[in-house]
Amino acid sequence: MSLIDFFYPKRCPVCLDALPPGKQLICAPCVRKVRRVAGPVCYLCGRPLSDENEEYCRSCRRRRPSFVKCMAYAEYSSPAMRRMIAEVKYHGDCQLLDYPCLDFAKRKADEVRGYGIEALIPVPVHKERLLIRGYNQAEEIADRLSAVWKIPVDAGYLCRVKRTAAQKELTDTERMTNLFDAFRLSGEPGRYGAVILVDDIYTTGSTLESCTRVLMRAGVKRVFGAVLLTGRN
Ligand SMILES: [Zn+2]
Ligand SMILES: [Zn+2]
């Protein structure tokens, strides 16, 4: 056992118990408890569909997103995954992302290979928040996906210029207004033709939509999304 394993044992992302030292990233019985997105999903935003006869969810039918499509790993309704994201966000335990990101990356590897992606772009956080927290959870996820997909991460291509009010209490229209102008290009325009935006959670899709618009104005032809958790529509 290394000293690092002794003082900071890796924890299981589902039950949060310490794992035995070694390569294991989740306890065996917990693998079954991850509520992965399965079954019919919206062809655009990747959320599980409540009506499986539809191709798109209600919100994508109402307002078609600018991104090509979004891939999602697990359901936000899974209490374990929600707790895991909170541990990452508020207690800085980024190692909990190892298993879900690796599992997600492997499951989507073939699909992603077909898209000709040049870079993974994490949804940026405001630099003040980055100073306080020390890391951006979207970038932590992107780094882990990058290791499997062998696609470089460009964390400096977009920046967040506005600290946005908490999105939860807002209506859809208010969210878009809230996010309008929140993101800017900070890299050189025309650098990429196809990218994947990476974020932790997809709720209404307005964050991904705002970033996609900035990227498309910068000449990106095809923007995809990859998120760890997503809601049901
Ligand atoms: Zn466990
Ligand atoms: Zn949708």
Span from the CA of 61 to the centroid of ligand 2 (angstroms): 7
Residue 15, judged by CB atoms within 10 A of its CB (0-12, 13-18, 19+), counts as middle
Secondary structure (3-state) at 167: coil
Span from the CA of 120 to the centroid of ligand 1 (angstroms): 29
- Of 220, 161, 217, 159, whose CA–CA distance to 191 is shortest? 220
Span from the CA of 182 to the centroid of ligand 2 (angstroms): 23
Eight-class DSSP state of 94: G
Show the domains of the chain with their CATH numbers. Answer: 9-230 (3.40.50.2020)
| Structure tokens belonging to residue 148 | 């499997």
Question: Would you say 157 and 194 are in contact if contact means Cβ atoms under 8 Å apart?
Answer: no
Place of tokens 């309008």: 180
How far is it, in rounded angstroms, from Cα 110 to Cα 114?
A: 7
How far is it, in rounded angstroms, from Cα 144 to Cα 126?
A: 21
pLDDT tens for each residue of 159-205: 998 766 666 666 777 776 767 778 999 999 999 999 999 999 998 89
User: What backbone phi and psi angles, to 5 degrees, belong to 76?
Assistant: -65, -25
Residue 203 amino acid letter:
T
Span from the CA of 123 to the centroid of ligand 2 (angstroms): 19
Surrounding ion ligand 1 within 5 Å at CB are 12, 14-15, 27, 30
Question: Would you say 208 and 123 are in contact if contact means Cβ atoms under 8 Å apart?
Answer: yes
Span from the CA of 191 to the centroid of ligand 2 (angstroms): 28
Stated pTM of the model: 0.91
Q: Which ligand sits nearest to residue 19's alpha carbon?
A: 1
Distances 12 to 97, 104, 115, 116, 215 between C-alpha atoms, Å: 10, 16, 32, 33, 36
Span from the CA of 201 to the centroid of ligand 2 (angstroms): 14
Question: What's the maximum distance between 2 C-alpha atoms anywhere in the chain?
Answer: 55
Q: Which ligand sits nearest to residue 69's alpha carbon?
A: 2
> Does residue 181 come out as left (phi exceeding 0), alpha (psi in the -120 to 50 range) or beta?
left
Handedness of CA 206, 141, 50, 203 (dihedral sign): negative
Low-confidence ranges of the chain (pLDDT < 50): none
Question: Would you say 212 and 137 are in contact if contact means Cβ atoms under 8 Å apart?
Answer: no
- Looking at residue 165, its pLDDT comes to 60
Q: Which ligand sits nearest to residue 209's alpha carbon?
A: 2
| Structure tokens belonging to residue 129 | 């928040």
Q: Which ligand sits nearest to residue 230's alpha carbon?
A: 2
- Looking at residue 122, its pLDDT comes to 98
* HSE, side-chain direction, 13 A CA sphere, residue 168: 2
